[in-house]
Amino acid sequence: MKVTAFLGSPHRNGQSSRLASAILEGAEESGSEIKVHFLGSKNIKGCNGCYHCEKARECIIKDDEMQEIYADMESSDAYVFASPVYFDHVTAQFKLFVDRIFPYYHEKPLKGKKAVFVLTYEENNAEIYGEIVDWFSGMIDVCHGIKVVDSLKVHGVVTQPVKDNPELLKKAKDMGRGLGQS
């Protein structure tokens, strides 16, 4: 099984990236091959809204790093999607990626694949940002047929960083084991 992660934080060692790493560690321990894309360090151009993909079933933009991402999405069995919250939503880097996977909307070649979603944020309020998890889970299912089978929405990561929360890291690792065995 191949599990590929798409990390929206511009910080490779940021809170969402650390949680995703723990998930991937668990998946790797269960025998999965893993691959990581740090979206913030990729050259990804924005969708130009031309709808070429609707007719051709592929994106017209070829001179960026999305071709590698498309290949990994197609060859993967499961995914880890992760983003911190910046200004009340996923990062611009993560949203850019979401926009550019639109070519998969029309024929749904990723249908039936599974994913986990990680969202981290600074606020110490556990009751907020559930709508982001709902948005992403619904969009990736309806538009692409990918089922989000589990998620982590972690608040207060400034006052309690992920690296200092062994219980959370264990939960993430266990989540990865489950994803790697599904």
Tell me which residue range forms the domain holding 164.
2-181
Q: What is the pLDDT of residue 98?
A: 98
Q: What confidence score (pLDDT) does residue 111 get?
A: 96
The number of distinct structural domains making up the chain is 1
68 residue type, one letter: E
CATH, residue 89: 3.40.50.360
Residue 180: Cβ within 10 Å count: 24
Per-residue pLDDT tens digits for 107-124: 899 999 999 999 999 999
pLDDT tens digits, 134-182: 999 999 999 999 999 999 999 999 999 999 999 999 999 999 999 988 7
First-to-last C-alpha distance (Å) of the chain: 9
Residues 44-97: pLDDT tens digits?
Answer: 999 999 999 988 989 999 999 999 999 999 999 999 999 999 999 999 999 999
